Amino acid sequence: MAKVWLVGAGPGAPDLLTLRAARLIERADVLFYDALVHPDTIALARHAEKIPVGKRCGRHSTAQTFINKRLVDAASRHELVVRLKGGDPMLFGRAQEEIDALARAGIEVEVVPGITAALAASASLGVSLTRRALSRSVTFVTPRIGENEPSSNWVRPVLAADTAVIYMGAGQADAISSALIENGMRPSTPVALVESASLPEESHRFGTLAGLVALAASTGAGPVVIVLGEVLREQLAPSLATLGQTEKKMAA
């Protein structure tokens, strides 16, 4: 019986792969992989046919329905098919479309979780996303702007949570900061941008929501997560603490 494994490749660093994922990749007959999977991770597949199906920011894109079809085809020709996805497959990975397509074709699917970028970013920053008496909730969200979708779909959960992590948002920093501030988020909310979390070229930028656009403009071509919330305040520069006090005085 053929089986397709949807496997999380983690945030980037090859040693942030799980033991289970590593063993599956080593045994795979065919390996489909996303654009952001590390070459060393792909190289673990010793005898697999390796097929890039990367999608990233529209630069190089294989349509999702075509990926689904290729997975079904591969399962009819191979015993162990691994579909390797950046981060965790079940967060912003369009995994459900692949699971459903395989299920409709009567093919067994199993999912192996991976370290998602938000948790890698939190580890690198040394800042816990939750924190006693300060943050009891964390939201992961990705905004779609200008697609006939109300901004409330992504703004509300960001405003409601104590800590928020925005995936795939750096390119839309202007619309994001405008929408959040218009809807009541304080411009002095601490912000961290983590680019290429867990990789040697990882970089961090700290500031406030008011300065998000400039922070985002200074990032490079790596994937970026935007972290927002009071858990970050102590990590920020003294200038920010001053800013926070100024705002408190203004509000008083």
Q: Give how far Cα 194 sits from Cα of 24, 123, 156, Å.
A: 29, 11, 23
SS3 label, residue 239: helix
Chain residues 148-177 in contact with a second copy, contact rule CB under 8 A: 153-154, 156-162
How far apart, in whole angstroms, are the C-alpha atoms of residue 105 and residue 76?
10
Stretch that binds a second copy, among 46-54, 127-135, 174-182, 236-244 (CB under 8 A): 127-135
Q: Give how far Cα 32 sits from Cα of 160, 238, 249, Å.
A: 37, 47, 55
Binding of a second copy by 140 (CB under 8 A): yes
How far apart, in whole angstroms, are the C-alpha atoms of residue 21 and residue 41?
10
* Tokens matching residue 64: 């999702």
Nearer to a second copy, 18 or 203 (CB): 18
Binding of a second copy by 126 (CB under 8 A): yes
Nearer to a second copy, 153 or 218 (CB): 153
From 1, 19, 250, 252, residue interacting with a second copy (rule: CB under 8 A):
19
Catalytic residue check, 34: yes
Binding of a second copy by 69 (CB under 8 A): no
From 42, 92, 202, 233, residue interacting with a second copy (rule: CB under 8 A):
92
Tell me which of 29, 50, 55, 162 is the catalytic residue.
55
> What one-character DSSP code corresponds to residue 234?
G
Stretch that binds a second copy, among 30-38, 142-150, 178-186, 244-252 (CB under 8 A): 142-150
Binding of a second copy by 20 (CB under 8 A): yes
Residues whose CB is less than 8 angstroms from the CB of residue 230 and which lie 6 or more positions away in sequence, other chains included:
134, 135, 162, 163, 189, 190
How far apart, in whole angstroms, are the C-alpha atoms of residue 26 and residue 54?
20
Q: How many residues make contact with a second copy (CB under 8 A)?
A: 62
Pairing mode of beta strands 203-208, 190-195 = antiparallel
Say what angle helices 64-77 and 95-104 make with each other, to 10 degrees: 50
Binding of a second copy by 101 (CB under 8 A): no
Binding of a second copy by 36 (CB under 8 A): no
Three-point CA angle 172, 144, 202, nearest 5°: 50
Binding of a second copy by 33 (CB under 8 A): no
Binding of a second copy by 115 (CB under 8 A): yes
Nearer to a second copy, 8 or 207 (CB): 8
Catalytic residue check, 168: yes
- Catalytic center residues: 34, 55, 168
Please report, as ranges, the residues that interact with a second copy according to CB under 8 A. Answer: 8, 10-11, 13-20, 22-23, 88-97, 99, 109, 111-116, 119-120, 122-124, 126-132, 136-144, 153-154, 156-162, 231
